[in-house]
Every structure is written in structure tokens, then in C-alpha cells.
A and B are shown apart, each in its own frame.
Chain A
Amino acid sequence: MGRITLERVAKRFAEVEVIPPLDLEIEDGEFVVFVGPSGCGKSTLLRLIAGLEDVSAGTIRIDGQDATGMPPAKRGLAMVFQSYALYPHMTVRKNIAFPLRMAGIAAEEQERKVTAAAEVLNLTAYLDRRPGQLSGGQRQRVAIGRAIVREPKAFLFDEPLSNLDAALRVGMRIEISQLHNRLKTTMVYVTHDQVEAMTMADKIVVLNAGRIEQVGSPLELYRAPRNRFVAGFIGSPRMNFIEGDEAARHGAAAIGIRPEHIAVSTAGGLWRGTVGVSEHLGSDTFFHVNGTGLAEAITVRAGGEVNLHHGDAVWLTPEADKIHRFDREGLRLA
């Protein structure tokens, strides 16, 4: 079981309110991702759940039990840190066994659990090495191994992939998702990378300045962002925002349209502009179209084979049913 409930949880550092009172429900077995720009309080929120920071107000319940004042070790949660936080003077085996040793578990039992965890994570060959002799991805796996052996109620991940290179990050992302499928344990994952959030989460919590902007499945957030912040944060490249007369024509203060929902044509269309920068990714091409008079630049996704050059005149046509409308406060209009 691993059901975590936050009730009116708030955090203040001296006079600065980092997290205003918020409520959140994390169901058993869910993969929840906290996502938001740096400094939005997502790591603080995770540390509150872990018990590494004291809450200023509110209640944290784990499986219905009040855990607000409980020390971290008693909460039955395991955490994977951004820096991995492996113990450099211990071998991989000792690192993974450390929580078991602290719990006073018999040596044979320790050995059995460490071996099992090492097999799951493909670490068997490295058990007698020290963290310093491992690559970034292997260290990450050791950190996860140390979390797994405790058989926690929930795993907490604090930006675990941000120290890895791009290729490894994609690999580890899949490994963590597979691990979740196999263990079916609750996982709470903090990241600033919306791609990680979209690909891994059952439920995304978008945070901004300590407030929860929206909670929902990845596609809910993509299809129906509650406000401009979520609309701009989820999706890559960012959604285009257009204000002024064009927005007024749709009866809104601002409209948003994703790059993938705009058709490009050299023949004719709704909006006219010239190609500025083009980014060729092979599978896709992103054009930054200037001079439309609607916004500084409008980003458009086209197929990889579309060949337009700097200065070419193009016509853009948004898909009418994919236009998001926002009011003056930035809230979504139905």
C-alpha cells in the first residue's frame, strides 16, 4: 500500500511562503510526476513528503495514518536523490545493503535481497565495485537498488535523471517506467522536464510558485490545459499565444495554438508570414515564422521533408477545433 494524502500542507522558510496551503491525493500504485519551472517548490514538496523538511501547517497522511511529525525513516518511503547520494567508501553491495543493515536484518537475508535487487537492475557484475568506478547510469541504478531493497510504500525521485546525458536519460526513463510496471509501487517523481513528465506519469501535478496549477493525466493536460501557464508548460515546442484582434475574433483575451496544429502552405491560408529560423530534426521540421503581425514569432511543426528557406513567404492555417481560448486572467474558456 502507498496512498499519500496532503491536507492543507504549507511550507514557510522564515517569512517567505514557499508553498501556500495545498491539497493533494496520491493513490496507491500511481506514478505521479511533480513538474514545474525551477524554484516552483516541487522539490520542497517532495522533501515535505519524505520528512526531510518539517511542514509549517497541514497534515500528511500515509495510508491514512498521520505521518506529519514522523521521522523520515519511520515513514516507509525510499528516496532517490539527484546526486544519487551513494556512500563513496562502500561497495555497491554495501550501499544497497545499508538500509537493511540499519534495520538490523540478518546477514543472509540481506545478501538474498541485495542479490535479488542487483539482478533486477543488472548490477550483479558490479557488486564489489565502489561508486567511483561506475558510470552515471550505473550509479543511478545503485541508488534505485538501495531504494528497492527496503520494499517501501512509495518511491520518491528527486530529479533523478538530470545528471545523465541525453541518450542515457531516455534509457533510464524507460527502465524506471518498466520498474513501476513490475513493482506496482507508488512513485512520486520530481522533474522540470515536461517530456519526462508526459512520458512517465499516470498523473501529472503542474506546480508554479508553490501552487498546484493543474492535476491530471498527461493527455488531459495536453488537451485541456486549465490556464495559460499549464498550456505553455506542457507540450514541446511551446504553444503559440496570440493576443489582440485575432483573439478577440474568437471571443477571448488570448488564444493558444500548438505548433503541431498549424498547417503550413506556400499557396494560401489564414495568416501570412515569412520563415525565420528553421530547425530540421529529420522526422519533423520546426519553422519560426515572423511578420504575421500576430505575435513575435509563431512556431509551426511540419513534416521532415518540407523544404522552406529563410525569407520564404508562407501561409499558416490553424486547426479550428484545436484552438485554446483564455480569458484576461489566463484561465481557459470552455
Chain B
Amino acid sequence: MATAHARGAARVMLSPAVVVLLLWMIVPLGMTIWFSFQRYGLLSGMPPEWTGLTNYRYFLTDPAFFTSIKNTLSLVGGVLAITVVGGILLALLLDQAFWGQGIVRVLVIAPFFVMPTVSALVWKNMFMNPVNGLFAYVAKLFGAPPFDFLAQAPMFSIIVIVAWQWLPFATLILLTALQSLDSEQLEAAEMDGAGWLSRFVHIMLPHLTRAITVVILIQTIFLLSTFAEILVTTNGGPGTATTNLTYLVYAQSLLQFDVGGGAAGGIVAVILANIVAIFLMRMIGKNLEA
């Protein structure tokens, strides 16, 4: 693409793809914005009409909205904490040479290939169920009363389920990063008198920062829109204990059939996601430059 001619040709060739992608984004966004300013309930039987910012006022003053923000943040934060810390530990473990390494690595990756709905159902019915679940069985074995995870600690349970799914991803990224560390650096540190913990803190962890930021960025994008796990386990409850922003939008538009309110919620979610994205990109940008 050296000459002006080549650049011009490239622009012409690229334009169909750019136009399609632009429409793909702009049309649904535009429609959502349009609906968010309409009174448009499917149950009232009235034709949609312009209401200005009413939908936003109702959505933003809904007590469930603040709960959902809090829930979204604790879900994202909790899963990130578990997967990053757990991922580092697992990566350190898998980096060792041991018999059956290949098979173990495949097994570790496996949860990532299980669909969210399936894994959430397996957790709900086979592990956390207070009657038939494995945890209840173990509790009874020790004579303790079974713990009803999804009723008594619903948010914690969902964090565990989602973290279980994302742990392999974090492990995989961190393991590859760990393996790219020059072994001579570790040997040099060993000669310099650094014990294992010092080598981990001063050599390995700084080497992993880049991979950790990548894990945080990618997971945050996906975790902000966690939905399936909540739908099949708690339905956002008890009450609104596990309703995150995505689930609240769903409840507004498809359980209360309020298209306008749902659209307003969607736009709020988009704005919040973009704020998070700006912070993340700044953080990552700084880390990736160094």
C-alpha cells in the first residue's frame, strides 16, 4: 500500500465491508434509541407514542436498577478475582513437568467448551441442589445440614458457576505467558540469591502483567453481559438478589412486555459498558506500551 493509487483502490475495496458493518451496528442502535423515547407497552394495546425521557426516569429511579448495578459489579469483580488468582496458581502448577501433562492440560481446558446453560444446570441440579446435590451429600456425610446454595447465597453461587467456566480461559492465557518467560532470567535470579517467592514476585508476576490485563479486559467484556447462568438457575432472584443489568433489561422488555422501558435500559447499559471500556482501555494501553 505504498502508492496513492494503491491506497485509493484499497479504500474502494474495503468500503462494502465497512458500510455493512456500520449498518449492522447503527440500525439496531438507532432503533433502540428510538424505542427508548416511546411509550410502547405490548399489553396496553395502545399504539406507540412519544414520551420523551419518561422511560429513562422510570428505569433509573427503579430500586432494582441500583441493585442490578451492584450485582453486575460484584459478579464481574468476583469472577475476575477468582479466575485471575486461580488461573495464576493453576498455570504455575501446569507449568511443572509431570506424567500425563498433555491429558491434564486438555482436561483443564474442558469447562470452557461446555455451554453456559448446560454448565449452570449441571451445577444447579447435580452439585448445589439441597436434596440431590453432591455438596448436600457431602454435608450429610459429615452430619451437617445441607446448604441451599442458590437460595441462601445466590450471588456467591452464580459467581462460582461463572468462575468455573472462565477459569480455564485465564489458566490457558497465563500458562502460555508463563511458558514464554526466558528460563535464563529465572536462573539469573536464582544465582542472584532470589528464593522461589522472590522469583515469583520479582520475575514471574511482572512478566505476567500483560497477560493478566488481557484476561481482565476480555473477561470483563463477556462478564458484563452474563445472562444464561442467571436465567437457568435463579431467574434473577430471590427477589432481585441476582438480577444484573442484562437480566433487568430482559425482565423489563420480555417479562413486563415494556419495549420502551427495555430499550431505555439497554441504552443505559450501553453507556455504562462504554464507561467501563474507556477505563479498561486506558489501563491496558498503559500496560501494553511498557
Which A residues are closer than 8 A to B by beta carbons? Answer: 50, 52, 71-73, 77-79, 81-83, 85-90, 98-99, 102-103, 146, 150
Contact = CB atoms under 8 A, between A and B. Distances in A.
A73 B192 contact: yes
Nearest to B186: A85
Contacts of A99: 192-193
Contacts of B194: 73, 98, 102
B200 to A, nearest CB: 13
Interface of B: 182, 184-185, 187-194, 198, 202-203, 206-207, 209, 290
A77 B191 contact: yes
Given A87-B189, A89-B207, 13 more contacts: A72-B187, A72-B191, A73-B190, A73-B193, A77-B191, A79-B187, A85-B188, A86-B185, A88-B207, A98-B192, A99-B193, A102-B198, A146-B188
For the complex, would chain B's binding face be called helix, strand, loop or mixed by DSSP majority?
helix
A81 B192 contact: no
A259 B150 CA distance: 87
Contact of B206 (A71, A79, A89): A89
A82 B190 contact: no
B182 A85 contact: yes
A99 B202 CA distance: 12
B193 A85 contact: no
Contacts of A89: 206-207, 209, 290
Given A89-B290, A98-B202, A81 B187 contact: yes
A73 B184 contact: no
Contact of B192 (A52, A83, A146): A146
Given A79-B188, A81-B184, A81-B187, A87 B203 contact: yes
A78 B203 CA distance: 18
Residue among A82, A85, A87 facing the most chain B CB atoms (10 A cut-off): A85
Contacts of A50: 191
A81 B193 CA distance: 16
Contacts of B206: 87, 89-90
Contacts of B193: 73, 99, 102-103
Contacts of B190: 52, 71-73
Contacts of A146: 188, 192
Nearest to A81: B184
A102 B207 CA distance: 19
11 contacts: A73-B190, A79-B188, A79-B191, A87-B185, A87-B188, A87-B203, A87-B206, A89-B290, A98-B192, A102-B189, A146-B192
For the complex of A and B, 5 pairs with smallest distance between CB atoms: A99-B192, A85-B188, A73-B193, A85-B184, A102-B193
Contacts of A87: 185, 188-189, 202-203, 206
Contacts of A82: 184
A187 to B, nearest CB: 15
Contacts of B290: 89
